[in-house]
């Protein structure tokens, strides 16, 4: 349970901050007098109530008192000088304070905290257990489906490669249940020896389940035993002159070997661990994480937390662990390149989350140290590549500023494009780029709603998208201090689109944002793009100008995103039926109705008795379906 105490949320609350304008050391000293020795979390805010820093404490009074004494690093001195108010949350234990601190850091993204910026979930392999012939597939997100989960894998590519080889080795199906139930003859995967054809009875349920068990044993680390058994079966088949069967078993053994080869290092003495290497240089950091499960390397992923020039490796590592495992289950061991200050506290917090013991190790020798050395090497090389790419990106942004007469290199470029087929399934796409490249977590899609638009009216579509975008910006970030406002807008189109967008910007009072239209140019030739700005003549860049290539990349990415969004919407519309509009008819019942009657039209013509005869359709739901199609008056 967390007890909440607010002190001076706004600097105008003179009862909490008598000086009103006091900042820095004086401001903090006044709060110290009101604190006790409870554990908890504190927040430091500036004069505009923006959170500067979130920290935890075993003893709030003692921890905050440290900020009233000189001798801090330059980063902390700046933070103290900017502090105009503070907030406090007291907790029962220091462990609760640690968990709350990392949660608040992820939510609030304070300026002076180490911040993990890429925190997506990781995919798993799921062997589903809700069917007589279990399906093997990739799974991401909450583990709600019944079955055995194996992971995490570092990327979708790592999962797909493993699944591809497992299909060759164990011939397990990956089709959906509905597709499985509708098959009357084996699919292509059976023909190319990737599936055993359970959908049409080419393998018994008992034999198929043996294959499932073998796959689970392999994914659980008992791969040697599986391969030995397959080798014995191959020899038996060969001796019995069943050469085709022996060749099939040989191919399955090769597939398993291929999985192990692609995994690279497979440690013998480490069954389940995350190997985490941290490399820092010039105020930047790279954290490399290797996922070891069942003595197998299931891939690695690099992260680039936001750090300051004077932040210690221990501080970065502790912040990374707290934020990384905030929404993930930790493994039994964490093997680190750098120790952390509160190792016992972190172990306790992670153990509570996992419901079992979690070890934190900083090895100095042996196999675990070799794993760390590999992670550090990858981290160092990844950071070097990123710094090189960042330097190139910075040069390109300076070139953009020069080409379009901007005040300085843009920190956020938003690019817009529309996609539709003769006005149907129209969508707008917005991609974002900045100093670190494409900012994919900031991409947005817009389903075009305008009923009064003429089909194919690109001007009208762009107006709707920009109107919605600026309306939201003005509502959510009216002071333009959250980093959500663009420094440059790029529009796919010429003078007409630029004029339409300019009207919207004037209407919303945001005409101070630079905006450029990118037109295809003469004969729609790639390389002869023309750039249009309000009140100015169109111009072009030299054909070999790196800035031109950069703008083309941005426009192409916006086009790719818009096209992909449009195709997804169109595919969804193709599968839509009137059944989707009936309350209580979900995917399973919709499938049952379509399977029974053959089409939505046949469902609409069915009588009540026939509807009640469908498996899974209750009398009440059958009445709803019947009424939906027959009570139109």
* CB-based contacts of 457, cutoff 8 Å, min separation 6: 423
- Domains of the chain in sequence order: 2-108 (3.40.1440.10), 124-263 (no CATH), 272-384 (3.30.420.10), 413-572 (3.30.420.340), 578-630 (1.10.150.20)
Whether 327 and 405 have beta carbons less than 8 Å apart is answered as no
Residue 441 DSSP symbol: G
Q: Which one has a higher pLDDT value, 457 or 357?
A: 357
User: 633: pLDDT confidence band, cut at 50, 70 and 90?
Assistant: very low
Antiparallel, parallel or unpaired: β 40-45 and 51-57: antiparallel
Residue 2 pLDDT greater than 50, yes or no: no
Closest C-alpha among 575, 583, 516, 579 to residue 550:
516
Which two structure tokens, joined as six digits, stand for 588?
């399973």
Residue 6 pLDDT greater than 60, yes or no: no
Whether 505 and 485 have beta carbons less than 8 Å apart is answered as no
Whether 265 and 371 have beta carbons less than 8 Å apart is answered as yes
Residue 246 pLDDT greater than 50, yes or no: yes
Helix (H) or strand (E) holding 246: helix 243-263
Antiparallel, parallel or unpaired: β 51-57 and 136-139: unpaired
How far from chain centre, in Å, is Cα 328?
13
**Per-residue pLDDT reduced to its tens digit, 485-497:** 999 999 988 888 8
Torsions phi, psi of 87, nearest 5? -130, 150
**Per-residue pLDDT reduced to its tens digit, 72-91:** 888 899 999 999 999 999 99
pLDDT score recorded for residue 121:
82
Which two structure tokens, joined as six digits, stand for 484?
């959500």
* CB-based contacts of 273, cutoff 8 Å, min separation 6: 292, 331, 332, 333, 334, 335
The number of beta carbons lying within 10 Å of the beta carbon of residue 478 is: 9
User: 330: pLDDT confidence band, cut at 50, 70 and 90?
Assistant: very high
pLDDT score recorded for residue 21:
59
pLDDT score recorded for residue 12:
29
Residue 5 pLDDT greater than 50, yes or no: no
The number of beta carbons lying within 10 Å of the beta carbon of residue 406 is: 16
**Per-residue pLDDT reduced to its tens digit, 160-184:** 888 887 888 788 898 888 888 888 8
Residue 264 pLDDT greater than 60, yes or no: no
* Arithmetic mean of pLDDT, 252-260: 65
User: 397: pLDDT confidence band, cut at 50, 70 and 90?
Assistant: very high
Report how far apart, in Å, the C-alpha atoms of 225 and of each of 218, 219, 253 are. 8, 12, 12
Spatial distance between the Cα atoms of 633 and 630, rounded to a whole number of angstroms: 8
pLDDT score recorded for residue 572:
65
Interior CA angle at 454 toward 452 and 459, to 5°?
A: 100
Residue 3 pLDDT greater than 50, yes or no: no
Q: Above pLDDT 70, what percent of the chain? A: 88
Of the listed ranges 176-180, 238-242, 247-251, 343-347, the least confidently predicted one is 247-251
**Per-residue pLDDT reduced to its tens digit, 516-547:** 999 876 655 566 789 999 888 999 998 889 99
Closest C-alpha among 295, 142, 158, 276 to residue 217:
295
SS3 content of the chain, % helix, strand, coil (to 5): 45, 20, 35
Spatial distance between the Cα atoms of 305 and 462, rounded to a whole number of angstroms: 36
pLDDT score recorded for residue 424:
63
Spatial distance between the Cα atoms of 251 and 235, rounded to a whole number of angstroms: 13
* Arithmetic mean of pLDDT, 563-588: 74
* CB-based contacts of 260, cutoff 8 Å, min separation 6: 223, 266, 296
Q: Which one has a higher pLDDT value, 60 or 589?
A: 60
Spatial distance between the Cα atoms of 214 and 207, rounded to a whole number of angstroms: 11
pLDDT score recorded for residue 13:
31
- Work out whether the CA dihedral 186, 187, 191, 193 comes out positive or negative: negative
Burial of residue 245 (CB within 10 Å: 0-12, 13-18, 19+) is middle
Spatial distance between the Cα atoms of 604 and 29, rounded to a whole number of angstroms: 74
pLDDT score recorded for residue 83:
94
The number of beta carbons lying within 10 Å of the beta carbon of residue 195 is: 23
Closest C-alpha among 494, 431, 498 to residue 463:
498
Helix (H) or strand (E) holding 4: strand 2-5
Beta bridge partners of 89: 4, 41
* CB-based contacts of 562, cutoff 8 Å, min separation 6: 417, 418, 419, 427, 428, 429, 445
Query: 3-class DSSP state for residue 31?
Result: helix
User: 452: pLDDT confidence band, cut at 50, 70 and 90?
Assistant: low
Residue 65 pLDDT greater than 90, yes or no: yes
Residue-averaged pLDDT of the chain:
85
pLDDT score recorded for residue 96:
92
Q: Above pLDDT 90, what percent of the chain? A: 40
pLDDT score recorded for residue 524:
53
pLDDT score recorded for residue 72:
86
User: 104: pLDDT confidence band, cut at 50, 70 and 90?
Assistant: very high
Task: Return contacts of 406-409, CB within 8 angstroms, 24+ apart.
Answer: 406/487, 406/488, 406/514, 409/435
User: 225: pLDDT confidence band, cut at 50, 70 and 90?
Assistant: low
């Amino acid at each position: 349970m967390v007890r909440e105490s607010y002190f001076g949320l706004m600097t105008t609350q003179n009862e909490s901050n008598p000086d009103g304008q006091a900042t820095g050391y004086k401001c903090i000293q006044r709060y110290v007098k009101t604190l006790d020795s409870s554990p908890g979390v504190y927040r430091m805010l500036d004069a505009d109530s923006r959170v500067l820093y979130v920290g935890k404490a075993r003893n709030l009074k003692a921890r905050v008192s440290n900020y009233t004494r000189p001798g801090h690093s330059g980063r902390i001195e700046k933070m103290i000088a900017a502090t105009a108010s503070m907030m406090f949350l007291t907790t029962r234990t220091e462990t609760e304070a640690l968990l709350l601190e990392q949660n608040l850091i992820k939510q609030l993204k304070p300026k002076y905290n180490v911040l993990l910026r890429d925190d997506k979930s990781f995919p798993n392999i799921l062997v589903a257990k809700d069917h007589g012939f279990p399906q093997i597939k990739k799974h991401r997100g909450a583990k709600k489906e019944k079955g055995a989960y194996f992971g995490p894998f570092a990327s979708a590519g790592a999962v797909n490669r493993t699944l591809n080889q497992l299909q060759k080795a164990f011939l397990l199906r990956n089709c959906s249940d509905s597709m499985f139930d509708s098959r009357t003859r084996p699919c292509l995967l059976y023909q190319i020896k990737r599936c055993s054809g359970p959908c049409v009875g080419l393998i018994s349920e008992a034999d198929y389940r043996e294959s499932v068990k073998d796959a689970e044993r392999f994914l659980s680390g008992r791969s040697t035993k599986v391969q030995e058994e397959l080798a014995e079966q191959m020899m038996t088949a060969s001796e019995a002159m069943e050469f085709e069967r022996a060749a099939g078993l040989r191919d399955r053994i090769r597939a398993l070997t291929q999985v192990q080869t692609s995994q690279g290092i497979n440690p013998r003495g480490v069954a389940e661990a995350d190997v985490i290497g941290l490399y820092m240089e010039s105020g930047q950091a790279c954290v490399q994480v290797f996922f070891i499960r069942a003595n197998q390397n299931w891939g690695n992923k690099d992260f680039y937390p936001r750090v300051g020039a004077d932040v210690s490796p221990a501080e970065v590592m502790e912040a990374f662990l707290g934020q990384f495992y905030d929404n993930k289950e930790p493994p039994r061991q964490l093997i680190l390149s750098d120790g952390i200050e509160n190792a016992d506290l972190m172990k306790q917090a992670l153990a509570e989350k996992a419901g079992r013991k979690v070890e934190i190790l900083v090895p100095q020798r042996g196999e675990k140290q070799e794993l760390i050395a590999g992670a550090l090497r990858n981290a160092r090389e990844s950071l070097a590549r990123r710094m090189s790419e960042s330097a190139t990106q910075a040069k390109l942004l300076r070139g953009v500023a020069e080409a379009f007469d901007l005040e300085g290199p843009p920190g956020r470029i938003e690019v817009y494009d529309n996609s539709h087929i003769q006005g149907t399934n129209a969508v707008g796409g917005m991609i974002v780029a900045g100093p670190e490249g494409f900012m994919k977590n900031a991409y947005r899609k817009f389903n075009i709603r305008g009923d009064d638009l003429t089909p194919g009216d690109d001007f009208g579509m762009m107006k709707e998208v920009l109107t919605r975008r600026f309306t939201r910006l003005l509502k959510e970030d009216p002071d333009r201090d959250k980093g959500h406002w663009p420094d440059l807008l790029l529009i796919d189109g010429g003078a007409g689109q630029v004029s339409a967008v300019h009207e919207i910007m004037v209407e919303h009072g945001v005409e101070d944002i630079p905006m450029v239209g990118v037109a295809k140019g003469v004969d729609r030739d790639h390389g002869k793009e023309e750039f249009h700005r309000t009140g100015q003549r169109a111009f072009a860049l030299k054909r070999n100008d790196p800035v031109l290539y950069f703008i083309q990349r941005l426009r192409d990415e916006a086009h790719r995103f818009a096209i992909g969004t449009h195709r997804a919407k169109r595919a969804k519309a193709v599968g839509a039926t009137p059944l989707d509009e009936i309350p209580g008819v979900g995917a399973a019942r919709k499938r049952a109705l379509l399977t029974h009657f053959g089409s939505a039209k046949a469902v609409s013509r069915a009588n009540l008795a026939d509807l009640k005869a469908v498996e899974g359709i209750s009398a009440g739901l059958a009445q709803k379906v019947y009424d939906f199609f027959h009570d139109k008056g």
